[in-house]
Amino acid sequence: MTTTSLRAVDLIARKRDGGEVDPADLRAFVLAYARDELPDYQMAAFLMAGYLRGFTRRETEALTDAMVASGDRLDLGRLTGPTVDKHSTGGVADGTTLVVGPLAAALGLQMVKLSGRGLGHTGGTLDKLESIPGFRVGLGAGELLDQVERIGLAVAAQTADLVPADKAIYALRDVTATVGNTALIASSVMSKKLAGGAGCILLDVKAGSGAFMHETADAVELARLCVELGRAGGRRTAALVTDMDQPLGELVGNAVEVREAVEALRGERPGRFLDLCLTLTGHLAALAGAAADPEQGRRDAEQALRSGAGLERFRDFVAAQGGDPRVADDLSILPQAPVTREVEAPAGGWLEAVDAEEVGRVAAALGAGRQRKEDRIDPAVAVELDAKLGDRVEAGQPIGRILARDEAAARAAADGLLAALRWSERPGQAPPLVHEVVLG
Ligand code: URA
């Protein structure tokens, strides 16, 4: 498609009227936008038309292909092992990469993970890793591949040259109320995964109060679409739809999430977080053909945890990226907040509901997250929530703590945390950790 405004108008009108846009035209439209040859208002009109009318499977594939084609792709051809990537759609206390990466590497997989930073109530893997003194996330492609070949794992910042169309379109969606469309989310996520080059892709699609998708059925639909796009792109792809009706781990912040990961790798912190990490690693191993099935993969991951091989890979990984590897043995080298405030249950009862998004916002307001891209984060501050859905507590029982810069911030965060919790006089059911598995 040439980018005369007439052709673009025709394409927008077709979508507005509920028709299907030809894949070649859609590709040209997206590529023109990425080259700055199409104005924001036409892309915005198209996105809104598609948001309201929906996108066909063919259109979603074309959108994904065009976004991949808009920039560089990482060529993993010189790596010798099975290459894997995992992606979470974003949640609270959801630092699984820090555990899954080392465990997968210990099983002989090669994980190349390009990550983003946290925005809003969700945390970002890069921010968490940067709380380790010296840790660098700006790796060039050559350095990234050398490291993966040597130790099986690298986590780096995604460069601006990878899927630039998604970057521009996502920014536009953010300000035109067009983020929450399954096809747009799936093409955005999968274009980045496909450009990342891994042969096997595992998606962890979150469902619940702290996730993009509050309803499990919507998350399952997104998971299925992502898996189809991965397969269409020639990758082995699977997805788990997992619970985000409460924070996954107990610690919400940056340095504290490194602490939780290290304690999990040492086998000192059993619970939902470690459970999901083992399950995800098992699925990755099965996808890559390193285990007969996800159950065997999980048993292998448990063995790598018990033997200390996972912790050893974590040490290698931190050292390779300039971080202080002593963090695996001495958590006191992580930044520490000056104020700790205990949070106590206001009354006896069962924990019935957690607004996980609000818990993420309380941590972000302390300084653990950013409201705007250019904000600096404070690695030391955090919210800790020990209580889980379905737990019974007594009045005055400690249920968590706040790590803050000063007393006033700690007090406000404690009030915010309590406001995010709902108690019941009757016992309730804890949600399952994994709602659904979508295999490719
Ligand atoms: N994450 C992405 O990368 N893209 C979306 O559209 C939503 C979440």
Arithmetic mean of pLDDT, 57-81: 96
Testing ligand 1's pocket by substitution, the residue of 51, 175, 179 carrying the most ligand atoms inside 8 A of its CB is 179
**172 closest CA partner among 40, 23, 24, 9:** 40
pLDDT in tens, 314-333: 999 999 999 999 999 999 99
Dump strand ranges (E) for 98-197. 110-115, 153-157
The mean pLDDT value of the chain amounts to 95
Kindly report the pTM of this predicted structure: 0.95
251 close to ligand 1 (CB < 6 Angstrom): no
Give helix 97-106 / helix 309-320 axis angle, nearest 10°.
110
Task: Please give the pLDDT value at position 4.
Answer: 46
Arithmetic mean of pLDDT, 358-378: 89
178 close to ligand 1 (CB < 6 Angstrom): no
For the CA of 192, the nearest atom of ligand 1 = 3
* Catalytic residue chosen out of the listed positions 65, 94, 166, 300: 166
Q: Which residues pair with 341 in a beta bridge?
A: 402
Radius of gyration for the alpha carbons in the chain, expressed in angstroms and rounded: 22
pLDDT in tens, 251-303: 999 999 999 999 999 999 999 999 999 999 999 999 999 999 999 999 999 99
Q: How far is the CA of 88 from the centre of ligand 1 (A)?
A: 10
Q: Is 433 exposed, middle or buried (0-12, 13-18, 19+ CB in 10 A)?
A: middle
**153 closest CA partner among 98, 233, 218:** 98
* Catalytic residue chosen out of the listed positions 27, 117, 192, 298: 192
47 close to ligand 1 (CB < 6 Angstrom): no
Mark residue 308 as left, alpha or beta (left: phi above 0; alpha: psi -120 to 50; beta: remaining). Answer: left
Task: Please give the pLDDT value at position 6.
Answer: 53
Task: Please give the pLDDT value at position 254.
Answer: 96
pLDDT in tens, 176-207: 999 889 999 999 999 999 999 999 999 999 99
* 25 is an active site residue: no
Structure tokens at 299: 């048993």
- The backbone torsions φ and ψ at residue 272, rounded to the nearest 5 degrees and listed phi first, read -60, -40
% residues pLDDT > 90 (the chain)? 90
Q: Which residues pair with 205 in a beta bridge?
A: 241
State the Cα–Cα distance between residues 131 and 113, nearest whole angstrom. 18
Arithmetic mean of pLDDT, 66-71: 97
Using pLDDT thresholds of 50, 70 and 90, give the confidence band for residue 124: confident
For the CA of 188, the nearest atom of ligand 1 = 4
158 close to ligand 1 (CB < 6 Angstrom): no
191 close to ligand 1 (CB < 6 Angstrom): no
* 406 is an active site residue: no
* 192 is an active site residue: yes
Q: Which residue has the tokens 């108008």?
A: 9
- The backbone torsions φ and ψ at residue 264, rounded to the nearest 5 degrees and listed phi first, read -65, -45
**Are 386 and 272 spatial neighbours (Cβ–Cβ below 8 Å)?**
no
Q: Is 232 exposed, middle or buried (0-12, 13-18, 19+ CB in 10 A)?
A: middle
Q: How far is the CA of 259 from the centre of ligand 1 (A)?
A: 27
Cβ neighbours, 10 Å, residue 128: 29
Amino acid at 433: L
Residue 419 has pLDDT above 60, yes or no: yes
* 117 is an active site residue: no
* Catalytic residue chosen out of the listed positions 27, 117, 173, 235: 173
Compute the CA torsion angle 245, 158, 290, 79 (nearest 10 deg).
180
Q: How far is the CA of 389 from the centre of ligand 1 (A)?
A: 27
67 close to ligand 1 (CB < 6 Angstrom): no
pLDDT in tens, 9-60: 999 999 999 999 999 999 999 999 999 999 999 999 999 999 999 999 999 9
pLDDT in tens, 204-256: 999 999 998 999 999 999 999 999 999 999 999 999 999 999 999 999 999 99
Task: Please give the pLDDT value at position 371.
Answer: 75
Using pLDDT thresholds of 50, 70 and 90, give the confidence band for residue 377: very high
State the Cα–Cα distance between residues 63 and 319, nearest whole angstrom. 39
Residue 3 has pLDDT above 80, yes or no: no
pLDDT in tens, 86-122: 999 989 999 999 999 999 999 999 999 998 776 666 7
Q: Which residue has the CA at smallest separation from atom 7 of ligand 1?
A: 185
* 15 is an active site residue: no
Testing ligand 1's pocket by substitution, the residue of 212, 222, 225 carrying the most ligand atoms inside 8 A of its CB is 212
Testing ligand 1's pocket by substitution, the residue of 162, 188, 203, 225 carrying the most ligand atoms inside 8 A of its CB is 188
